[in-house]
């Protein structure tokens, strides 16, 4: 069982994204805030087969893919266009003809690279790009990208050949100086010069691995759609189980880690767009998203008392930007409250909810995420609320991950 008592809680890397690396499609691209397939499987296994599963915060589509592998029908929401694209590529079934077509197309693209190396190819306008790739590596990546576009079309436009682009995304990370083993991504002090032949060979190795894990047919169905979880509309479809991991109130921006993929895939072209996108993300804090908080207020909305208490304590602390951080926490839970109020539009009566979330701390003031979410759930008419610690997130601080559960009446 997942439950553990708080004093005996361990970090449990098997319950994080690290567990997914070797699990076929789940391991294609890493997003450190992704949760573990194992966790999702354990929850799904407690329910009868053929229930409909929803993940309103898709990320890398761990829930939806796990559910589709298990034989369920599942849907996820996200607001990030790259993650929506990636989730759909991961959750599709592919014929052997399709895999052969991608393999063949990749060979054609690579055959064009020597001629393309003599040209001035498009490169992304990623800030400080020289920290990510040396000039030579960048030139080789850009030539390969142009070759792939000539054969397959731009990734954001042509969804059918997504597998070739997933392999390219993995390639840009493997050849970069970024270390993606922790949420606070770091860079090596020096970039490495990768010869063009090495770049194209590595691309083929990665593509082989991606294609090898794409052949298995999914038993169920999964898809990811663009829906803002703060305003879920009625969709003519309802779900029996919600398994999700929303952002945590800890100022981590998914955009930060996703930037290289998003720029190379042209889901992002200007730095300003990243801040705009993060303003829509719950807990988003990139660029303009933080400065906008100064003008933001909850507009008289009645929110749980336990939240207003926590926000008051943070605002009174003597840390730098204490008021701004208090507003950040308030906006995070305000957005989660909006989410939980629109969720019943897609819930079957009796639906069960599992929210994997973390607590946080601002200037020594603990933000008790499970208690605040539980208060929101109860205010909004959910019942059977509960929460349990599932793992410790950090070796020094009292930061934990919880499974917050509830039931929609019916």
Ligand X SMILES: C[S@@+](CC[C@H](N)C(=O)[O-])C[C@H]1O[C@@H](n2cnc3c(N)ncnc32)[C@H](O)[C@@H]1O
| Total chain residues near ligand X (CB under 6 A) | 24
Sign of the Cα pseudo-torsion (46, 47, 50, 54, in order): negative
Q: Minimum distance from CB of 278 to ligand X (Å)?
A: 9
Of the ranges 27-35, 287-295, 307-315, 390-398, which one interacts with ligand X (CB under 6 A)? 27-35
The sign of the torsion formed by the CA atoms of 258, 261, 263, 265 equals negative
CB 217 within 8 A of CB 208: no
Asked whether the beta carbons of 278 and 257 are under 8 A apart, the reply is: no
Q: Binding of ligand X at residue 69 (CB under 6 A)? A: no
Which pairs count as long-range contacts for 94-102, CB under 8 Å and 24+ apart, including other chains? 94/163, 94/214, 94/215, 96/215, 98/160, 99/163, 99/211, 99/214, 99/215, 101/161, 102/161, 102/163, 102/164, 102/207, 102/211
- Measured from the CB atom, the residue of 220 and 247 that comes closer to ligand X is 247
Q: What's the closest the beta carbon of residue 41 comes to ligand X, in angstroms? A: 13
Q: Are strands 400-407 and 347-358 parallel, antiparallel or unpaired?
A: antiparallel
Q: Tell me which of 68, 79, 102, 336 binds ligand X, using CB under 6 A.
A: 79
Q: Which residue lies nearer to ligand X by CB, 58 or 285?
A: 58
The binder of ligand X chosen from 16, 72, 80, 200 (CB under 6 A): 80
- In whole angstroms, give the CA distance from residue 222 to residue 40: 14
Min. distance of Cβ 280 from ligand X in angstroms? 6
For residue 265, state whether it binds ligand X (rule: CB under 6 A): no
DSSP state of 270: S
- 286 makes contact with ligand X (CB under 6 A): no
Q: What residues contact residue 277 under an 8 Å CB cut-off, 6+ apart?
A: 79, 80, 255, 268, 284, 286
Please identify, using beta-carbon distances, which residue of 210 and 336 lies nearer to ligand X: 336
CB nearest ligand X: which residue? 59
Identify which range of 29-37, 121-129, 140-148, 209-217 contacts ligand X by CB under 6 A: 29-37
Smallest distance from the beta carbon of 43 to ligand X, in angstroms?
12
Per DSSP, the chain holds a count of helices (H) and strands (E) of 14, 11
What's the distance, Cα to Cα, between the start and end of the chain in Å?
27
Residues 216-255 that bind ligand X (CB under 6 A): 228-230, 245-247, 254
Structure tokens at 32: 């450190």
What is the closest distance, in whole angstroms, from the C-beta atom of residue 20 to ligand X in the complex?
A: 8
Q: Which stretch binds ligand X (CB under 6 A): 5-13, 79-87, 318-326, 344-352?
A: 79-87
Stretch that binds ligand X, among 54-62, 137-145, 203-211, 389-397 (CB under 6 A): 54-62
The values of phi and psi at residue 221, to 5°, are: -135, 140
Interface with ligand X, residue 334, by CB under 6 A: no
For residue 110, give every residue at least 6 positions away whose Cβ sits within 8 Å of its Cβ, in sequence order, or none.
144, 147, 200, 203, 204
Interface residue with ligand X, options 29, 34, 68, 289 (CB under 6 A):
34
Q: Smallest gap, in angstroms, from Cβ of residue 279 to ligand X?
A: 10
Give the burial string for 167-185 (b: 16+ CB within 10 Å, else e): bbbbbbbebbbbebeeeee
Question: Does residue 62 belong to the site contacting ligand X (CB under 6 A)?
Answer: yes
16 in contact with ligand X (CB under 6 A): no
The residue within the footprint of ligand X, chosen from 52, 54, 67, 83 (CB under 6 A), is 83
Nearest to 259 by CA among 127, 84, 90: 127
Q: How far is the CB of 262 from ligand X (least distance, A)?
A: 11
Residues that bind ligand X in the complex, under the rule CB under 6 A: 31, 33-35, 57-60, 62, 77-80, 83, 228-230, 245-247, 254, 280-282
């Amino acid at each position: 069982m997942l439950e553990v008592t708080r004093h005996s809680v361990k970090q449990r890397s098997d319950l994080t994204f690290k567990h997914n690396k070797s699990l076929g499609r789940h391991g294609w691209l890493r997003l450190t805030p992704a949760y573990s397939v194992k966790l999702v499987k354990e929850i799904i296994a407690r329910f009868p087969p053929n229930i409909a599963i929803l993940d309103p915060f898709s990320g890398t589509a761990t829930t939806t893919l796990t559910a589709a592998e298990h034989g369920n029908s599942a849907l996820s929401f996200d607001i990030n266009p790259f993650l929506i694209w990636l989730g759909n590529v991961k959750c599709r079934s592919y014929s052997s003809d399709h895999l052969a077509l991608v393999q063949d197309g990749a060979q054609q693209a690579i055959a064009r690279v020597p001629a393309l190396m003599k040209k001035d190819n498009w490169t992304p306008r990623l800030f400080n790009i020289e920290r990510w790739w040396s000039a030579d590596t960048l030139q080789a990546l850009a030539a390969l990208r142009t070759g792939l576009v000539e054969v397959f079309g731009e990734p954001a436009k042509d969804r059918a050949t997504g597998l070739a682009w997933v392999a390219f995304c993995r390639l840009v990370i493997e050849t970069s100086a970024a270390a993606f083993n922790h949420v606070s991504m770091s860079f090596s002090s020096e970039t490495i010069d990768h010869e063009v032949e090495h770049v194209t060979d590595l691309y083929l190795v990665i593509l082989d691995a991606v294609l090898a894990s794409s052949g298995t047919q999914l038993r169920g169905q999964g898809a990811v759609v663009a829906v803002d979880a703060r305003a879920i509309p009625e969709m003519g479809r309802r779900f029996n189980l919600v398994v999700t991991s929303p952002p945590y109130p800890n100022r981590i921006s998914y955009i930060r880690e996703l930037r290289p993929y998003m720029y190379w895939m042209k889901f992002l072209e200007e730095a300003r767009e990243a801040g705009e996108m993060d303003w829509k993300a719950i807990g988003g804090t990139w660029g303009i998203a933080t400065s906008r908080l100064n003008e933001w207020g909850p507009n008289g909305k009645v929110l749980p008392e336990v939240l207003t208490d926590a926000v008051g304590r943070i605002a009174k602390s003597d840390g730098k930007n204490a008021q701004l951080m208090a507003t950040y926490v308030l906006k995070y839970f305000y957005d989660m409250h909006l989410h939980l109020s629109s969720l019943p539009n897609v819930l079957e009566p009796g639906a069960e909810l599992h929210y994997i979330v973390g607590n946080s701390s601002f200037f020594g003031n603990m933000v008790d995420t499970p208690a605040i979410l539980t208060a929101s759930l109860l205010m909004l008419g959910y019942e059977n609320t509960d929460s349990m610690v599932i793992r410790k997130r950090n070796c020094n601080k009292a930061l934990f991950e919880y499974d917050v559960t509830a039931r929609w009446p019916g």
